[in-house]
Amino acid sequence: MNNALPLDSLLTYFDLSKNAIGSSQWWSNLAECEAPFIKVQHNGTCRVFFIWQDPEGDKYSSTTSSVILNVNGLTNHNTWQPNCLNRYNDSALWFACLDINDKWRGSYSFIPIQANQSPQLVKQDDESREAQRCWWLKVVKQQVQDPLNNGPAIVSAWGLSSPLHLPNAPRELGWHEWDQGKLANMPIAEHINFTWFAQQLDNQRQCTVFSTATGKAPLVILLDGEKWGADSGMLSVLQYLTNINKLTPAHYLLIPSIDSKTRWQELSCSELFWQAVTEQLLPQVTDRLLQSEKSITEVIVAGQSLGGLSALYAGIHFPTYFTKVISLSGSFWWPEIERMQDPDAYKLEHPEWSKKLPKNSLADRVSNNEVSVAGLHIYQTVGNAETQLSVYNDLHYEIFKQHGANITYEKVDGGHDWLSWRSSLINGLISLLPSQV
């Protein structure tokens, strides 16, 4: 956090008006600028200036006592003292400044909290890691996007965030056009929606099949499919990139997660889940496609976070069905959940943690020749800001590579973030399904 400079100096530095700061006219003029405000530095970083107007008003009329600046991958979620904005005098204006890698791409939000939610007050009763985690999970639900940011909202499990693209962030194929409003939502008539009654799992859900192909083509399974529906822009981007011959035509199967509890059960290396997919869902999808004179040539599985773990599990344990895998920020700490629940305590207790594979993890089983990755095509990414997760992804990559996987592994300048995953998913598809033109 770089809040050493007063607001007046920051406004001057970012070429913003200092005339009648906080007035209606000042806010109106500010809204015409492009937030957050960015200045390129000479050391590979950018200085980023965030400003937020409390909708409840100034100190005397608002219930907000502080505002957390929640930048995905940069804000520490494991502390009682996260990055916060500063209030300007007693006004409704809050601000903060960060120096960030100029290749960064990530989402951010503001989290207004009330006096009774103050971490200093809450931790008086319980300073444990679990209490801190519970406090964070409660307040993060209050996050709001930046009303001064004109970019489309980023939807996550916590709510809405705003996008931050720094000048040297890699170009996103298709997403610039979506963000600029140049790509329309795909009409619902282009989708095949159906209910999957999974007998083995004793549940049901609405699945979607979307095709950019007219006949024989690969099928791409998108886990957490509810996140990649029409509103996310993904289907529009897939169609656009296919139209301009950046992607080969394909069929896409969106499998949604029913709820958090079911997601943990199904995506944490569940043989039962993938048996249900292969024995029941895939034949159902095949029949649906045949009704439109379409068919499947091969199947690719793509997922992020726990879905990235599950996608690789499917490729390893069901190689007859799945030949290619896209794993984004895979949860390769599994099954030792304590590695991620309280990482600091785990590191103190296990000084060699970064060199030791989680017992019975996918890499551990591959290393012991219990299962094979020979011939499996993998596209794997993780964010540079995902500190622990980067270590586990590194360990898995090395083991997979040593044991014959055809693997591409990339580090991205971002965090555990849908904004990173959307472009990495496209890059993975281009890598595994390059256009034939």
Q: What is the pLDDT of residue 3?
A: 55
Q: How far apart are CA 18 and CA 36, in angstroms?
A: 17
Q: What is the pLDDT of residue 185?
A: 77
Listed by start position, the domains of the chain span 7-165, 175-432
Q: What is the pLDDT of residue 345?
A: 85
pTM: 0.94
DSSP readout, 242-272? HHTTSB---EEEEE----HHHHHHHHTT-HH
Max distance between CA atoms of the chain, in angstroms, equals 70
> What architecture (CATH level 2) is domain 175-432?
3-Layer(aba) Sandwich (3.40)
CA 30 to each of CA 35, 37, 95: distance values in angstroms, whole numbers, following the listed order: 9, 10, 13
Short-list 275, 278, 216, CA closest to 251: 216
Q: What is the pLDDT of residue 68?
A: 97
Q: Spell 220-234 as b/e; 16+ CB within 10 A means b.
A: bbbbbbbbbbbebbb
Q: What is the pLDDT of residue 110?
A: 98
Sequence-distant (6+) residues with CB within 8 A of 39 are: 13, 14, 46, 47, 49
Q: How far apart are CA 3 and CA 95, in angstroms?
A: 9
For domain 7-165, give the CATH number.
2.60.40.10
pLDDT digits (tens), the chain, 437 positions: 555 679 999 999 999 999 999 999 999 999 999 999 999 998 999 999 999 999 999 999 999 999 999 999 999 988 999 999 999 999 999 999 999 999 999 999 999 999 999 998 988 889 888 899 899 999 999 999 999 999 998 888 788 999 999 999 999 999 999 999 999 877 655 788 999 999 999 999 999 999 999 999 999 999 999 999 878 899 999 999 999 999 999 999 999 999 999 999 999 999 999 999 999 999 999 999 999 999 999 999 999 999 999 999 999 999 999 999 999 999 999 999 999 888 888 889 999 999 999 999 999 999 999 999 999 999 999 999 999 999 999 999 999 999 999 999 999 999 999 999 999 999 999 999 987 76
Q: CA gyration radius for the chain?
A: 23
Q: Provide the 10 A C-beta neighbour count for residue 406.
A: 16
DSSP letter at 226? G
Q: What is the pLDDT of residue 373?
A: 97
Q: How far apart are CA 383 and CA 107, in angstroms?
A: 13
Q: Phi/psi at 380 (nearest 5 deg)?
A: -130, 135
